[in-house]
Amino acid sequence: MEYEEGWIYYSLDKLNEKVEPENCQDIFERGYTTSGIYTIYPWDKSDRDFRAVDVFCDMETLSGGWTVLQRRNRGSTSFNQTWNKYKIGFGSLNETFWIGNDVIHQLTRHENVTLYLAITLVNGTTLYQMYRRFSVADESEKFRLFLQEPTDGTLGDSMVNTGNSAANLHGMPFSTYDQNNDPDRVCGSSWGCAR
């Protein structure tokens, strides 16, 4: 920054610097290390849908900075929701929720995003699976899911290399009870269907 007779000059790199955090990793890198609800701005400022979104950030798992897409506790919120509910998100960030397919698309549109799945069993054991490349297309492409093969985990790969090509979720469009995008089966709310 330079000053000259009442004028302030900013270098171009400062103008392009991110002011609003796009995800929980941005927040973590700014020194916020407590898990909880934070505000992010995943849309580009030039996007007509640009807005703030409250999300739950996990600042503890694997060094922190994770934007939580879903938390599901037994029986507290129904996940049998409409296409629009899955698009915009539902539930309570402090309890059980789905962040919304629009938000997931925005979070995964630019970068090499890692998906970390964790399931805690009734006995307290946590199983996990990590996918290094994860993205979700926009609504015009039915929020199609893209995953690279998993890198590690204890859960097992039940999404990409299932041994049954009809059960692989890579490239699968999202479906709900009111918008079935899988021509082979009647689906609930998911990518692919349970058999």
User: What are 95-106's pLDDT values in tens digits?
Assistant: 999 999 999 999
Query: How many Å separate Cα 147 from the centre of its chain?
Result: 13
Percent of the chain residues topping a pLDDT of 70: 75
pLDDT at 8: 56
Token duo for residue 32: 């916020």
**Termini Cα distance of the chain:** 61
pLDDT digits (tens, 9 = 90+) for 44-70: 888 888 889 999 999 999 999 999 999
Please answer whether residues 131 and 148 qualify as being in contact, where contact means their C-beta atoms are separated by less than 8 angstroms: yes
pLDDT at 104: 97
Does pLDDT of 79 surpass 50?
Answer: yes
pLDDT digits (tens, 9 = 90+) for 134-190: 899 999 999 998 888 777 888 766 655 555 555 566 678 898 988 888 766 655 445
pLDDT at 195: 31
Q: Residues 120, 29, 17, 111: is their CA dihedral positive or negative? A: negative
pLDDT band at 194 (very low <50, low <70, confident <90, very high): very low
**pTM: predicted TM-score of the whole model, two decimal places:** 0.80
Does pLDDT of 191 surpass 70?
Answer: no
Does pLDDT of 36 surpass 50?
Answer: yes
Please answer whether residues 104 and 145 qualify as being in contact, where contact means their C-beta atoms are separated by less than 8 angstroms: no
Does pLDDT of 21 surpass 60?
Answer: yes
